[in-house]
Chains A and B, each alone.
Chain A
C-alpha cells in the first residue's frame, strides 16, 4: 500500500521542530531515518497526520569523545556509528551491535536515535545501550532531561519521550582497555530482528576476579532488560564454567518472553540461557586477551 495523506514539515532547528510538536501534539510524528516508521506508514499501521522530518535539522549528527563518554547525535546514521574509528576503539560492542542491523541500505538511513525512540525490544541498539547504561538526552519546551535505559524504555514500541520532546543525543561510556565484551544474536538470517540478543560487558581485576558485569537481553521481554541477578552472581568471583552456567540460568529467569511465529516463549527463554553463557565466555576471552 501507500501512506495516507499527511502534512509535511522539514524544520532546520530543534526549537522549530519542538514548536511543531507542540502545535500538532499526538497527530505529529518525527521522521528521522524512516526505516521503521515508513514501513508502518506504507502498511497504514501508522497514519500520522503530520510528519516532522528532522533530516535538515543542523547539529544532530556527530560522534565525539567527551571525557569518559562518547556523545552521539541522535540523527547519526547507523552506518556512521558502525564505521566510526572512535566507536570501534573505545566502545567496540556498539560497532558490533550496529553491524547486526538489517542490511547496509537500511543502516545508511537508519539513525541511532530513531532506533532508540522506536523502542523495539528485539532491536540491537536498545539492547546494547541497555548493557552500556547509556543515557538519552531529551529536549522539550521546558528544557532538557537525561534518561537512563530503564527509565527510557517503557514497553513495546514505547519510550518515555513526551509528545513534544525530541531525543537529541545518546551518551555511552568509553570502555577501559581490557574490558571484555560480546554481542551475540540469534536470528534466522543475518539482518533479521533478534529472536534473542545478548550484550555482555565484563571486567576482570589483576587476580582474574570479575569487577564489572553487565548483561542485557533483547527480544525476550517488552523492553530490553538487564539480568541484574546474573550480574551480581558474577561480581567478585573467578569466572569459570559452572558460574557461567548459573548466570545463564539466572538471566533466563529474568526474561518474560512471548511466543510468536519466529519462536516460542520456551525456546526464547532457553536460548537466552545459552546465549548469556556463550556471550560471557566470549567477553571473558576478550578481557583476558586485553582487547
Chain B
C-alpha cells in the first residue's frame, strides 16, 4: 500500500487500529475495513445523506472525509444505536410508523434524527422536515419519516 498510515479510531465505543491509504474514504473504511455495513454509501458526493455518521458529536457525510482524518476521533454509526439487543427508541419509532420501505436511506435518517433530537428534543414537524431534508428518501414521501421522528421525540421525552 502506498503511503499507508496507521490510525486509531473509536467506533461505537470500540477502539480500532488499522493501516489505511490516504485516499480511503471514511465510509469505505467503516464498511470495508471494519466490516460495519450498516452505514450505506449512496451518491458519493455529499448529496444523499445515506452515509451520515456522528463524528466527534457532529453529524457528517462520511463519503466526504478521508479515514486518515478520523485518527483519534470518536464515531457513532447506526450499529451503535441498539443496546443489548434492544432497539433504540428512534429505531422502534421508525418500525412502528413505517418510516422506511427499501431501507437504503435509513441509516442516514436514523443518525440524522439521533443528533437532531439531542439538540431539539421537542421539535415541530417543520423543524423535523428541515432536518430530514438532508437525507434523500425516494420511497416514503417523507410523511412516515416525519411521523417516526415526532414519535421518537415523544418516546424519548418519556
Contact = CB atoms under 8 A, between A and B. Distances in A.
A106 B22 contact: no
Interface string B41-53: 0001110010010
Contact of B23 (A6, A103, A106): A6
A109 B64 CA distance: 9
A103 B133 contact: yes
Contacts of B133: 103, 189-191
Interface in B20-75: 21-23, 25, 28, 44-46, 49, 52, 55, 58-61, 63-66, 68-69
Interface string A94-113: 00000000111110110000
Contacts of A1: 44
B23 A105 contact: no
A190 B127 CA distance: 13
A191 B134 contact: yes
A51 B69 CA distance: 12
A33 to B, nearest CB: 8
Contacts of A39: 44-46, 64
A96 to B, nearest CB: 15
B105 to A, nearest CB: 13
B58 A79 contact: yes
Given A6-B23, A108-B58, A42 B63 contact: yes
Interface residues of A, number: 29
Contacts of B52: 105
A104 B134 contact: yes
Give chain B's interface residue range (CB within 8 Å of chain A): 20 to 34
A5 interface: yes
Nearest to A33: B64
B18 to A, nearest CB: 15
B112 interface: yes
B3 interface: yes
Contacts of A8: 3, 5, 22, 66, 68
B133 to A, nearest CB: 6
B107 to A, nearest CB: 13
A103 B65 contact: no
Given A34-B64, A105-B52, A43 B45 contact: yes
A173 interface: no
A103 B46 CA distance: 10
B3 A105 contact: no
A37 B136 CA distance: 22
Q: Which 8 pairs of residues, A with B, have the shortest CB-CB distance?
A: A103-B134, A8-B22, A39-B45, A105-B59, A108-B58, A38-B64, A3-B23, A42-B44
26 contacts: A4-B23, A6-B22, A7-B3, A8-B5, A8-B68, A38-B46, A38-B66, A39-B44, A39-B46, A42-B25, A43-B45, A51-B22, A103-B134, A104-B59, A104-B112, A104-B134, A105-B52, A105-B60, A106-B134, A108-B55, A108-B58, A108-B60, A109-B60, A109-B65, A189-B133, A191-B134
Interface of A: 1-8, 10, 34-35, 38-39, 42-43, 51, 53, 55, 79, 102-106, 108-109, 189-191
